[in-house]
Amino acid sequence: MLKSLRNQLVIAIGVVVSLFAILQGVSSYQFCVAGMSAVLDLRMEQVASRLRAGFAEGIPTFPARGSQDARDIFIVIWKDGETQPVRSTEASLRLPRDAATGFTSPVVNGEGWRLYTGRESDQTIQVAQRLSVRHEIEEAAATKTLWPIIVLIPLVWIAVIVVVSRSLRELNRLGNEAQVIDVNHLHALPLAGVPTELLPFIRSINRMIERLGRSIESERKFISDAAHELRTPLTALQLQADNLQRDIVPSNQESFRALQGGITRSSNLISQLLRLARADAPPVGESMARATESVDIPAAVVSAISDVLPIAMQRGIDIGADEMASASVRAAGLDVATVIKNLVSNAVRYTPDGGKIDLSTRVQNATVDIEVKDTGPGVDETLLPRVFDRFFRANTEIEGSGLGLSIVKAIVTRYGGTVTLRNRSDGQSGIVATVSFLIDPNKAA
């Protein structure tokens, strides 16, 4: 969770604000306790002042024991020359007569008290209150000051989350822009509206994209040029081998056929490289639009099946169609044919003799899905993410160039479609390859 910049900022700011709020709460609590203590002291002092002003006659001379509320203040009045209080609110309370003038905190009858002692010429007035009662009053008043802080802390966290999320909204937008960048869609990230702090980072990314584009273009040009340069000599070599076949003695025919097979495989590899170079080439505006046509998907599937049917029949592989929904896509006919043929050829190559391959086309919303399902050995789940990598082969024991699925991926991406490869989940072994093309809007029902 802390790997998220948003979460780090929210937690950091929220914790700092919360700490300040807690410190503020502790300070307010202590100040309130001190303030209430001062107010209670003032109240005791005022009571003593009133008693000196003539209100002492209202205090009982012989009070009943235990008649006063424990939470109230207690009053004791002494007269000079008398050994017992002349007036008191509680007969059982014996406050220390010799307490210092002013405020003291003696222990009486095993309890702590707050005592105010005032002396005049002929009398001593003492006003006392239990410390436990004072602490209860002080804490009750101080606790009320904490409620605003307790309520505000969650609100501050919510505000921090909202502010940080809004501040990082631009990062999310840039992240979405960067997510769609691939070899077929290399474009610089926009700088408009980007916070000043992010500008150096975004400019660095744009420079990296520019270097990546030049590197990919160089790779494409190299593959295309190399394939073109190699195609002519390999074709000539194939013709020369065909012309020499009748002159090869019977004992060397097997070796000669192996030589022809190697030449054929090399030619196929060169053809695959050329297809990959064409598939990787970026579309060029109007020329791209002119090269596209409305391609009937069921017809393209039938054509692909007919191309590989002789090999499938020779190996006893049953190729059938489960469902063939009618749909058309806007693309180059050769591109669509290459995609379907590569998927079917791949299925035939990996399906054992006597196996089965099922094809289907389904229309969903604005796309048509072409599915090729085989009964081959499947692919290790750990290797599935790499099946579209160039020259990657999940099973090195089966002959292939490792470019077929890369070409499929490049072509499908070029037209805004998707391709997925997964193991079957119906209890049988095998692969399910699914390609989705956008339906031709001019042909949509």
Residue 180 lies in a domain: no
Q: What pLDDT, on a 0 to 100 scale, did the predictor assign at position 414? A: 82
Angle between the N-to-C axes of helices 199-244 and 253-280, in degrees from 0 to 180, rounded to the nearest 10: 150
Alpha-carbon dihedral sign for residues 323, 324, 327, 330: positive
Of 31, 9, 28, 5, the closest CA to residue 152 belongs to 28
Residue 333 lies in a domain: yes
Beta strand residue intervals within 156-221, DSSP E: none
Report the pLDDT averaged over residues 52-80.
78
Please identify, among 248, 280, 312, the residue that sits at the C-terminal boundary of a domain. Answer: 280
Report the pLDDT averaged over residues 50-57.
76
How many C-beta atoms lie closer than 10 Å to residue 251's C-beta? 7
**Token pair for 11:** 């937690």
Q: What pLDDT, on a 0 to 100 scale, did the predictor assign at position 230? A: 63
Q: Which residues contact 154 (CB under 8 A, 6 or more apart)?
A: none
Query: Both 340 and 423 in a single domain?
Result: yes
Residue 109 lies in a domain: yes
**Confidence bin at 415 (pLDDT 50/70/90):** confident
Q: What is the pLDDT of residues 281-316, one digit of tens each?
A: 655 444 444 467 888 888 888 888 888 888 888 889
Q: Is the pLDDT of residue 380 over 80?
A: yes
Q: What is the pLDDT of residues 75-119, one digit of tens each?
A: 888 888 788 888 888 877 888 888 899 999 999 888 899 999 988
Query: Both 274 and 385 in a single domain?
Result: no
Q: What pLDDT, on a 0 to 100 scale, did the predictor assign at position 307? A: 82
| Residue 295 to residue 395: CA distance in whole angstroms | 33
Query: Both 247 and 311 in a single domain?
Result: no
Report the pLDDT averaged over residues 40-51.
88
Please identify, among 280, 314, 348, the residue that sits at the C-terminal boundary of a domain. Answer: 280
Q: What pLDDT, on a 0 to 100 scale, did the predictor assign at position 227? A: 61
Q: 367 in helix, strand or coil? A: strand
Query: Both 434 and 290 in a single domain?
Result: yes
Query: Both 216 and 340 in a single domain?
Result: no
Please identify, among 216, 246, 280, the residue that sits at the C-terminal boundary of a domain. Answer: 280
Q: Is the pLDDT of residue 170 over 80?
A: no
Q: Pick 197 or 130 by higher pLDDT.
A: 130
Angle between the N-to-C axes of helices 253-280 and 333-350, in degrees from 0 to 180, rounded to the nearest 10: 140
Of 15, 89, 23, the closest CA to residue 51 belongs to 89
CATH code of the domain covering residue 217: 1.10.287.130
- When divided into structural domains, the chain yields a total of 3
Q: Pick 63 or 410 by higher pLDDT.
A: 410
Report the pLDDT averaged over residues 231-257.
73
In one letter, which amino acid is 325? A
Q: Is 250 exposed, middle or buried (0-12, 13-18, 19+ CB in 10 A)?
A: exposed
Query: What does the chain come to in residues?
Result: 445
| Residue 353 to residue 362: CA distance in whole angstroms | 28
Q: Evaluate whether 419 touches 311 at the Cβ level (below 8 Å).
A: no
Report the pLDDT averaged over residues 200-228.
76
Report the pLDDT averaged over residues 5-9.
80
Residue 203 lies in a domain: yes
CATH code of the domain covering residue 291: 3.30.565.10
How many C-beta atoms lie closer than 10 Å to residue 121's C-beta? 5
Q: Pick 184 or 220 by higher pLDDT.
A: 220
Structural domain that includes position 385? 286-438
Beta partners for residue 422, in sequence order: 432
Note the pTM of the prediction, 2 decimals.
0.50
Q: Evaluate whether 353 touches 317 at the Cβ level (below 8 Å).
A: yes
Q: What pLDDT, on a 0 to 100 scale, did the predictor assign at position 1? A: 46
Query: Both 241 and 301 in a single domain?
Result: no
Q: Evaluate whether 134 touches 114 at the Cβ level (below 8 Å).
A: yes
Torsion from C-alpha of 278, 283, 288, 291, nearest 10 degrees = 20
| Residue 375 to residue 337: CA distance in whole angstroms | 23
Mean pLDDT value across the chain: 81
| Residue 296 to residue 282: CA distance in whole angstroms | 24
Q: Which residues contact 50 (CB under 8 A, 6 or more apart)?
A: none
Residue 189 lies in a domain: no
Q: What pLDDT, on a 0 to 100 scale, did the predictor assign at position 135? A: 92
Q: Is the pLDDT of residue 445 over 60?
A: no
Q: Is the pLDDT of residue 152 over 60?
A: yes
Query: Both 18 and 108 in a single domain?
Result: yes
Q: What pLDDT, on a 0 to 100 scale, did the predictor assign at position 272? A: 65
Q: What pLDDT, on a 0 to 100 scale, did the predictor assign at position 284? A: 46
| Residue 330 to residue 351: CA distance in whole angstroms | 31
Q: What pLDDT, on a 0 to 100 scale, did the predictor assign at position 116? A: 92
Residue 229 lies in a domain: yes
- Which runs of consecutive H residues, i.e. helices, occur in 245-332? 253-280, 285-291, 297-314
Task: Scan for tokens 């220390």, then name that residue.
Answer: 96
Alpha-carbon dihedral sign for residues 328, 333, 339, 340: positive
**Confidence bin at 38 (pLDDT 50/70/90):** very high
Residue 1 lies in a domain: no
Q: Is the pLDDT of residue 229 over 50?
A: yes
Percent of the chain whose predicted confidence (pLDDT) is above 70: 85
**Confidence bin at 426 (pLDDT 50/70/90):** confident
Query: Both 338 and 261 in a single domain?
Result: no
